[in-house]
Amino acid sequence: MLLQGKVMVVTGAGNGVGAEIAKLAASCGAKVVVNDAGVTTSGEGRDPSVANRMVEDIRAAGGTAVASVRNVADWDDAHGIIQDALDAFGRVDAVVNNAGILRDGLFHKMSREDFDAVDAVNLRGVFYVSRAAAPHFRQQQSGCYVHMTSTSGLIGNLGQVNYAAAKLGVAGLSKCIAIDMQKFGVTSNAIAPFAWTRMVATIPPTPENMHRLEVNRRLKPERIAPLVVALASEAGRNTTGQIFGVRNNEIYLFSQPRPIRTAHTAEGWTPQTVVERVLSAFQPSYFPLDKSNEVFSWDPV
């Protein structure tokens, strides 16, 4: 019962990774706010029954949960999600920012609407919900944030400029929350989950994607939840500002950007000396245009 007495808010908890986190947290003693607006994978429509069904499942298994059907992409709704936790349970101890949508497309064809919609949920929604919880965490001098990032942002993927930009933004947001909130005893970490979900199932089954989809189907969403619960427990209070990955039975700690080469001149640089002395010297250390599935090229265990 690692989370006995704690209150956890999980966004996007009606399906997939979020649902598994909510169920495991409840089974470990947490009181859970299941937030899900019941939208499609592209962020359209509203179905309150999605969150309510998950609450019924948790209660049937002996856990404690309430539903919140508010939209993370709206500032007032995001604050309402945290208020739902306070109204139901009197406090909030952990926020899991899991809600996300996809609107994939090649960069030169991507519309403003598709970029803005993904940014609104996947990045601004993370900020809104986190910001809503911050005063309560500060007052009680404790709290835990877990944010879902993605290797689409950390490494790169084809046709996901909007999603990658938002998810890399989540990694930066998580790190700076950790820095700003450390003095209040609050932790913030990011996880890049590998899992077969309804969002991943929208990847088109093109010939070049067939092997990737075959591998993805073996990635179970319930494998993400144990790390989230561990981070939200008292034992996780010394872990903050990190980026993890979970891929079935593997857990990764990702590196974070740091300088790897340097060039210096006493007289200052000109475009010509940069070309002659910097670009040519740095070129052997350039990162290739890898995609996520090329970096994680081995089959999951």
Is residue 285 assigned to a domain?
Answer: no
Start-end of H helices in the chain: 16-27, 49-60, 75-89, 112-119, 125-140, 151-154, 161-181, 210-216, 225-232, 271-273, 280-282, 292-295
Q: Tell me the HSE value of 122 on the side-chain side, using a 13 A CA sphere.
A: 30
287 located within any domain = no
Report the DSSP pairing between strands 250-253 and 243-247.
antiparallel
Q: Determine how many CB atoms are found less than 10 A away from the CB of residue 49.
A: 13
Non-local (6+) Cβ contacts of 126 within 8 A are 72, 97, 147, 170, 173
Which residues constitute the domain of residue 208?
A: 7-256
Residue 267 covered by a domain: no
C-alpha to C-alpha distance for 259 and 96, rounded to whole angstroms: 31
* 292 falls within a domain: no
pLDDT tens digits for the chain (301 residues)? Answer: 999 999 999 999 999 999 999 999 999 999 999 999 999 888 888 898 999 999 999 999 999 999 999 999 999 999 999 999 999 999 999 999 999 999 999 999 999 999 999 999 999 999 999 999 999 999 999 999 999 999 999 999 999 999 999 999 999 999 999 999 999 999 999 999 998 676 776 666 666 666 666 677 778 999 999 999 999 999 999 999 999 999 999 999 999 999 999 999 999 999 999 999 999 999 999 999 999 888 988 777 7
Left (φ > 0), alpha (ψ -120 to 50) or beta: where does 239 sit? beta
Asked if residue 246 belongs to a domain, the reply is yes
Answer yes or no: is 82 within a domain: yes
The two tokens of residue 280 are: 């040519």
297 assigned to some structural domain: no
Domain presence at residue 277: no
pTM: predicted TM-score of the whole model, two decimal places? 0.93
Number of domains in the chain: 1
CATH number assigned to the domain comprising residue 187: 3.40.50.720
Of these residues, 128, 145, 163, 252, which one is catalytic?
163
CA-wise closest residue to 162 among 113, 213, 212: 113
Is 252 catalytic? The answer is: no
